Amino acid sequence: MTELFDYGRRILAQQPFSVLLGAELTRFEPGEAELILHIRDALKQQHGFVHGGVISYIADNSLAFVGGSVLTDVVTSEYKINYVRPAIGEQLVARASVLASGKRQAVCQAEVYVVDDGQERLVAVAQGTLSKVDS
């Protein structure tokens, strides 16, 4: 484990909503981040799919982590998400990467997959801008 990964896990543990959902940081290095979330009934909507808000959460938080990997402390200033198909399975995986970054902001993308019987299927794609927080 790296110092950055350990730092990321501490940050995730300080996010009450992430703790409530049970999110786990599985990769965190400069320009790349991965979060996973085990699917349970409480995270589904009336049709049995993972709720769009949950998918949006994991996309947004993976964007924030990857933006933070190059700018340190960030907040999301905007993002867009496209839902590709319903999420039905055992686990969500969000993988994010940095497209471009400067001194104050980073433009990042995330792909969210559902894992079912060991197979990954794309369920959403997001792109966002992360802005450095003034300390």
Whole-prediction pTM value?
0.95
Considering the domain 3-132 in this protein, what is its CATH number? 3.10.129.10
Q: Is the pLDDT of residue 1 over 70?
A: no
Note the pLDDT tens digit of each residue in 84-113: 999 999 999 999 999 999 999 999 999 999
71 CA to centre of own chain: 16
Q: DSSP alpha helices (H): ranges in the chain?
A: 3-13, 16-21, 52-71
123 CA to centre of own chain: 13
Q: Which backbone phi and psi does 65 adopt, to 5 degrees? A: -65, -45
Strand, coil or helix: 52: helix
93 CA to centre of own chain: 8
